């Protein structure tokens, strides 16, 4: 079994977006197998336009056994993957039948294969924004604007709480856990809006209810879903 599988995800993605994780794993297998200095391996020298290239026999059964995580059960699965990798320009193949029965597939790695390990500024580019766009993960500025808007509204709500607290409850400014209260406030502001949250806060601080009078010192109590739900009933009335 092959001990490890090394994948350059950025390079594979830039070479051909149709290649997936299984194709990438096979590429690592081919690199290890074709570069191995093993005299017992079946190889073939083929003259291509005056240049001699060495091809290595890829035993599909061996690949299946060495790469169990790929979960291939049939040699046809390997054959289909090699065709896909060949179409991406990373390998060339040659079929040969040494006994006249059945064909063996011999593979050689192309010059393009080295792009998996070496960056060539003339042929490669890494554009994270484009990759995110291709995958539907493009980071629009709109979500950032929304996050900033909610943060601003949260700050406005807390400032309003401090102003109303000093005006109606005590001359001393209230003390509260900003981080904890901000987490509670964000979802409520998003769903109810800042103006309504201020209106609910007015009810909370101005109520004659003994419970509210005791809890007015606690902003986190106001921001609890249970209290907001109860206040919202009164707000509607």
pLDDT digits (tens, 9 = 90+) for 129-180: 555 555 555 555 555 566 677 788 889 999 998 898 888 888 888 888 888 8
Last residue of a domain, one of 134, 161, 188: 134
- Please give the residue range of the domain that contains residue 224: 141-236
Q: Tell whether 108 and 24 lie within a shared domain.
A: yes
Q: Tell whether 103 and 175 lie within a shared domain.
A: no
**Are 90 and 109 spatial neighbours (Cβ–Cβ below 8 Å)?**
yes
Task: Kindly tell me the burial class for residue 185, based on how many C-beta atoms sit within 10 Å of its own C-beta (0-12, 13-18, 19 or more).
Answer: buried
Q: Tell whether 26 and 112 lie within a shared domain.
A: yes
Model confidence, pTM: 0.53
Q: How far apart are CA 108 and CA 69, in angstroms?
A: 24
The enclosing domain of 31 has a CATH number of 1.10.10
Q: How far apart are CA 158 and CA 179, in angstroms?
A: 11
Q: Tell whether 129 and 69 lie within a shared domain.
A: yes
Quote the number of domains for the chain.
2
Instruction: Considering only CA atoms, give the Rg of the chain.
Output: 33
Which pLDDT belongs to residue 46?
A: 92
Residue 1 in any domain: the answer is no
């Amino acid at each position: 079994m092959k001990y490890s599988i090394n994948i350059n995800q950025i390079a594979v993605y830039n070479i051909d977006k149709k290649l997936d994780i299984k194709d990438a794993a096979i590429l690592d297998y081919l690199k290890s197998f074709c570069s191995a200095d093993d005299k017992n391996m079946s190889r073939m020298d083929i003259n291509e336009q005056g240049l001699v290239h060495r091809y290595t026999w890829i035993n599909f059964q061996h690949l299946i056994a060495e790469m169990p995580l790929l979960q291939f059960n049939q040699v046809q699965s390997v054959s289909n993957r090699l065709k896909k990798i060949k179409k991406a320009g990373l390998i060339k193949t040659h079929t040969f039948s040494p006994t006249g029965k059945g064909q063996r597939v011999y593979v050689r790695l192309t010059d393009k294969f080295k792009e998996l390990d070496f960056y060539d500024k003339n042929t490669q580019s890494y554009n994270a924004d484009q990759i995110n766009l291709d995958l539907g993960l493009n980071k629009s500025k709109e979500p950032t604007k929304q996050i900033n808007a909610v943060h601003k509204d949260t700050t406005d709500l807390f400032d309003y709480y401090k102003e109303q607290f000093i005006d109606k409850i005590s001359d001393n400014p209230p003390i509260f856990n900003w981080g904890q209260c901000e987490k509670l406030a964000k979802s409520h502001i998003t769903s109810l809006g800042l103006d309504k949250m201020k209106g609910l806060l007015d009810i909370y601080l101005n109520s004659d209810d003994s419970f509210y009078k005791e809890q007015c010192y606690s902003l986190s109590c106001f921001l609890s879903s249970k209290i907001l739900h109860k206040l919202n009933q009164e707000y509607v009335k």
